[in-house]
Structure 1
Amino acid sequence: MRRPVTGEVHVHYHQIYVVSDPHGGAIPDLAEAFAGQNAGLCGAAAPGALWLSTGLHTGNVGFAVEVHDAEPALDPVWEDVVEVSFHPLSERTRLMQWAGEATWDLGLARTGYRVRYCARGMDEGRRLDSRVSGEPQADSYLLQFWPAPPRADRVVRQTSREAAHSHRYARGLPAAPTPEERAETARLARQAEQRAAEERRHPGGVQRPPGSEG
């Protein structure tokens, strides 16, 4: 077992992320991250990214990341637990703070993983809202990875009101687009970009020689 992250991390707007986008680490929006999921807290609906929700709005929370060779035992100390599936899009997968203020390399291979996101003290973090230096830690989190084939997300344990609210939000979202739908959207976007580039090169339209119409 490896622990690439341990101690505290800074969160803002109740969020921190895992990114593996080879083009710079794009973050999906909230609805995209949780689309079609049964479980809130860890949004995995957008390829190559995880949206991790916290009780605290702004400040430091306890946070650890573990990478295992097989599914680890679940410690009963954690009050809220969800599981999702994740597949990195590049050789570099990172834990990333809001706006990329800090990152931690997780050293994940480009293979399928099961992810377990565990939380403790979410309601206390929500009530505190913002934590400043010198205040005691309110909420803490553990993010675990192990190799596994993809399967549906699930709620393993629910205790806090904050987690219950997150689960209700996720269940109210429409399903995420299929890979085929994503590919078609990307194809149409490329076509639109090509048309726009052609119009920029020929502002008056493409000129045809006389008699070439038809």
Structure 2
Amino acid sequence: MRVLFDAEMPVHYGFIWLSSVEDLPDLMETRAGQRNGLCGAAVPGVLSMVTGLHTGRVPFVVQWHDTAPELDADWEDVVEVPFSPESTDLGLSSFQDGFDVTLPAAGSLRARFCATGMDEAHRQDTLMDEATIDRYLLALWPADPAPDEIVRQTSDIAAYWHQEA
């Protein structure tokens, strides 16, 4: 396993992008036709991820695995989606903040988006200098395309976004 990003990610409006394209689509377009509403992957080269917190900073980790990793029981909400970035050089962004993420390989990947603490973070809405509440993991590995999947859902806000997909 390789850690590609591990930091507090600034969020505004409760979303984060991972993309190999410059022109980002509408958030609803990225979830079109999916079962899950937490991680949109319907637009090639783009992942759109929803956070519980509207504005502030959230711990966010991106990992690369050679094969599908074991699922940690600590994560409250987990979804998986197919992801086909156009290059290995990606941008991790939210509104005006952005970071570079370099993948070991491009092509057909599986993305597992994991979240904990979404309901309480959603209730708090905005945290600027306070301790973080929600945290996120995006695990990536080479895999053949497969439909998106809701692996685990325990939070009310995840249920809401799944209904919106």
TM class by shorter chain equals: over 0.9
Match of 2:115?
119
In structure 2, what is the Cα distance between the partners aligned to 1:61 and 1:78?
15
Aligned pair partner of 1:163 in 135, 158, 161? 158
- Does 2:16 align with 1:16? yes
Bigger radius of gyration among the two: 1
Match of 2:26?
29
The answer (yes or no) to whether the contact 1:19–1:26 under 8 Å persists in 2 is no
Instruction: Kindly provide the amino acid, as one letter, of the partner of residue 51 in structure 1.
Output: S
Which secondary structure does the structure 2 equivalent of 1:6 belong to?
strand
Structure 1: gaps of 5 or more residues? 171-214
Q: May I ask how many residue pairs the two structures share in their alignment?
A: 165
1:58-93 CA-to-partner distances (Å, cap 9, x unmatched) read 000111010000000000000000000001112312
Cα shift at 1:108: 4.3
1:1-214 equivalence runs, <5 A: 1-21=1-21, 25-99=22-96, 101-133=97-129, 135-170=130-165
In structure 2, what is the Cα distance between the partners aligned to 1:64 and 1:80?
15
1:81-111 CA-to-partner distances (Å, cap 9, x unmatched) read 0000001112312212213x22122324221
TM-score where L is the length of structure 1: 0.75
Structure with bigger helix share is 1
Identical aligned pairs, as a percentage? 48
The answer (yes or no) to whether the contact 1:88–1:108 under 8 Å persists in 2 is no
Structure 2: gaps of 5 or more residues? none
Instruction: Kindly provide the amino acid, as one letter, of the partner of residue 5 in structure 1.
Output: F
In structure 2, what is the Cα distance between the partners aligned to 1:61 and 1:90?
26
Instruction: Kindly provide the amino acid, as one letter, of the partner of residue 112 in structure 1.
Output: S
1:115-135 CA-to-partner distances (Å, cap 9, x unmatched) read 0000000001101101111x1
Farther off after superposition, 85-94 or 50-59: 85-94
Match of 1:203?
none
Q: Which runs of 4+ in 1 moved over 2 A?
A: none
TM-score where L is the length of structure 2: 0.96
Which secondary structure does the structure 1 equivalent of 2:122 belong to?
helix
Which secondary structure does the structure 1 equivalent of 2:162 belong to?
helix
Q: Could you say what the CA RMSD is over the residues aligned between the two structures, in angstroms?
A: 1.0
Which secondary structure does the structure 2 equivalent of 1:7 belong to?
strand
Which secondary structure does the structure 1 equivalent of 2:72 belong to?
coil
In structure 1, what is the Cα distance between the partners aligned to 2:66 and 2:113?
17
Structure with bigger strand share is 2
